[in-house]
Amino acid sequence: MTQRRILIIDGHPDPDRGRFVHALADRYVDGAAVGGHEMRRIDIAAMNPSPLTSRTDWEEREPSAAIRSAQEAIGWAEHIVILYPLWLGDMPALLKAFFEQVLRPGFAFRYREGGLPEKKLKGRTAHIVVTMGMPALFYRIFYGAHSLKSLERNILKFVGITPVRRSIVGNVEGDGDIRDYWLDAIASCGRKGR
């Protein structure tokens, strides 16, 4: 098996370690350690990034030390695993703030005169793990998995990160067997570096 450099982004904004998303991130890390992969981890709850409030900030203001270090970790990684709970149909605002801060022009893409922007993070793959109260099938069919599509197409593919694997973890507030199944499935992804 090929060993990879993997960045795990735990996108749950709640520092309470009892949250299921933290348990999934921990199990991914455990699995990846068994698989011999190199890892770095970013915890959004600990970083607590502020949202951008202007285009000038996005394009010209120096990012904070924590954001620069996250950019360095993204630059280092071959594979990026992003875990978050679905909140009001989308990623939590703190995770969105993180992407706003980190994916700055110049770092993640470059404007080009009269053409499409240059994607600067090509060569990396990703895996999105999203948890939710509703059944996964309902989210896929009735809602068209729209927040996943937005993260994949408007954020990750826009900067060149592709292909993107999806794990849609539904019914997390119900049967404990479902959580156990997913903890094992995500640990297995960690072992395989997926």
Ligand X SMILES: Cc1cc2nc3c(=O)[nH]c(=O)nc-3n(C[C@H](O)[C@H](O)[C@H](O)COP(=O)(O)O)c2cc1C
CB of 124 to ligand X, least distance (A): 25
Whole-angstrom Cα Rg for the chain: 16
25 lies in the binding site for ligand X (CB under 6 A):
no
19 lies in the binding site for ligand X (CB under 6 A):
yes
168 lies in the binding site for ligand X (CB under 6 A):
no
172 lies in the binding site for ligand X (CB under 6 A):
yes
Q: What is the DSSP letter of 87?
A: B
94 lies in the binding site for ligand X (CB under 6 A):
no
- Tokens 């909140």 map to which residue? 87
CA–CA dist 48, 31 (Å, integer): 27
29 lies in the binding site for ligand X (CB under 6 A):
no
Q: Which is nearer to ligand X, 19 or 192 (CB)?
A: 19
CB of 64 to ligand X, least distance (A): 26
CA–CA dist 168, 157 (Å, integer): 19
58 lies in the binding site for ligand X (CB under 6 A):
no
184 lies in the binding site for ligand X (CB under 6 A):
no
CA angle 21, 26, 31 (to 5 degrees): 125
Find all residues with CB under 8 Å of 15, minimum gap 6, and list them. 45, 46
147 lies in the binding site for ligand X (CB under 6 A):
no
Q: Which is nearer to ligand X, 119 or 178 (CB)?
A: 178
Q: How many CB atoms lie within 10 A of CB 3?
A: 12
Q: Which residues bind ligand X (CB under 6 A)?
A: 12, 19-21, 85-89, 131-134, 172-173
